[in-house]
Structure 1
Amino acid sequence: MLEPQWLEALQRLWEEGERHDAVALERAHKNLFITPDTGRFLYQLVRSLRPARVLEVGTSAGYSTLWLALALRDRSASHLKSLDIDPARQAQASANLARFGLAGRVSLLGTDAGPWLAAAQTNSLDFIFLDADRSRYAGYWPHLQHLLVPGGLLVMDNALSHATECAEFVDAVIATKGYLAETYPIGKGQFVIVKD
């Protein structure tokens, strides 16, 4: 159960992130958190699906990581891996996870997602959250197909806010047989893909 104090703490963290981003001059220094309603959506999906193997591509400061880890916190067999190439972002995420008492629930991997996805084992993931460099998503798609188990779910953020940047990936997914995808107007737009 997601207790009120967790929701309040997540809201405060999001507000801190928004204040920070409002004055940060360079995109590289912004937190770029998902919206709280996107966090709730991810939490609902993960709680409902009860996946054992979860991957987040794009840790950033760990706000979405917190929502995913909270959804998995009472499932000892489940584990979340989160990839980000930026060591400063990984350190920030690590501090946020420790703040919420969730450090042991997540493996933060400071690595480039492309080679990691290419080397990962087939049918090794039940749930993927994609929120990173959108220009690389179409190149990730062949690997993501192999990694998801049948019935597995992939959620991509920014499907509406950055529709042009996501278009090549969306088109590739829609053109691939055996996948059902839909965009939901939650937060900045969630493109949800199920491997049928």
Structure 2
Amino acid sequence: MEHDILPSYFIGDTRVDATLRRLYAATLRMDPPARQAVAAHGLDEGAPGFYEAMKDAYMPVTPDLGMLLYLLVRSSLARTVVEFGTSFGISSIWIAAALRSNGNGRLVTTEMDGGKVSCARNNLREAGLDDLVEIRAGLAEQTLREPLQHPIDLVLLDGAKSAYLPVLRLLEPNLRSGTLILADNTDMPGSRPFLDYVQEPCNGYRSASIVTEALGATHPCMVLLRVRE
């Protein structure tokens, strides 16, 4: 299992790859027992107390989805990226590494757990990418109301699924035609209003679904293109 989730290299940057390997190895140690504990208490995502019970879990994007994020940021020459759900900063590292490879850029990411905010900042510093990232602490529906300087090129939605639609609607004034949106774990019930909205053609999105796998579970992800301003 560890061989499957931890490839021998990620993007070829020694400092970034070493940080990602350490964090994914920690995920293998921490997340399975955390998920077993919340399942034993009958908690699923959306239940009161779920995120508090999972505060020590990493809950990262899979390595395959991380690499896809890196490729999409690079190939689109993205400069401004917004992320909902920083956690320990693993997806932030993938995105910021791509922005660095593009020559410059800014990732604005938001996380409601103060402990995770501190850890994410340390992890980004370890990877040498902290100068490209602004972490906004608090609920995304509040922190993302603060203005952005430029139109958004790419969005990653990877927090509470029930907030996917409110966060997307909040960001829509800053989306341009051609903005990419990735929404992870869209098989969870809380994402249903989001899926209904983006799959209605008149709302201005086109989509494709992909599935990655890690820790014995599948992780459906929707990739969206904004087709009108």
Change (3 A) 1:83 1:23: same
SS of residue in 2 equivalent to 1:141: helix
Once the 2 structures are TM-superposed, how far is the Cα of residue 121 of structure 1 from its aligned partner? 5.4
Aligned counterpart for 1:30 among listed residues 48, 57, 62: 57
Aligned counterpart for 2:24 among listed residues 14, 19, 23: 14
The answer (yes or no) to whether the contact 1:159–1:183 under 8 Å persists in 2 is no
SS of residue in 1 equivalent to 2:108: strand
Please report the TM-score for the alignment, with normalisation by the length of structure 2: 0.77
Q: Look up the match of 1:183.
A: 209
Once the 2 structures are TM-superposed, how far is the Cα of residue 108 of structure 1 from its aligned partner? 1.1
Once the 2 structures are TM-superposed, how far is the Cα of residue 136 of structure 1 from its aligned partner? 1.5
Once the 2 structures are TM-superposed, how far is the Cα of residue 12 of structure 1 from its aligned partner? 3.3
Report the AA paired with residue 107 of structure 1.
E
Report the AA paired with residue 111 of structure 2.
D
RMSD over aligned Cα, in angstroms? 2.2
Matches of 1:129 and 1:40, distance apart in 2:
13
Aligned counterpart for 2:114 among listed residues 74, 83, 87: 87
Q: Look up the match of 1:3.
A: 12
1:36-185 alignment runs, 5 A limit:
36-120=63-147, 124-160=151-187, 162=188, 164-177=189-202, 178-185=204-211
- Which sections of structure 1, spanning at least 5 residues, go unmatched? none
Aligned residues: 194
* Larger-Rg structure: 2
Matches of 1:109 and 1:119, distance apart in 2:
10
Once the 2 structures are TM-superposed, how far is the Cα of residue 20 of structure 1 from its aligned partner? 1.4
The answer (yes or no) to whether the contact 1:122–1:146 under 8 Å persists in 2 is no
Report the AA paired with residue 186 of structure 1.
T
Report the AA paired with residue 131 of structure 1.
D
The answer (yes or no) to whether the contact 2:155–2:182 under 8 Å persists in 1 is yes
The answer (yes or no) to whether the contact 1:55–1:81 under 8 Å persists in 2 is yes
4+ runs deviating over 3 angstroms: 4-9, 74-77, 116-123
Once the 2 structures are TM-superposed, how far is the Cα of residue 142 of structure 1 from its aligned partner? 2.3
- Which sections of structure 2, spanning at least 5 residues, go unmatched? 1-9, 38-52, 214-218
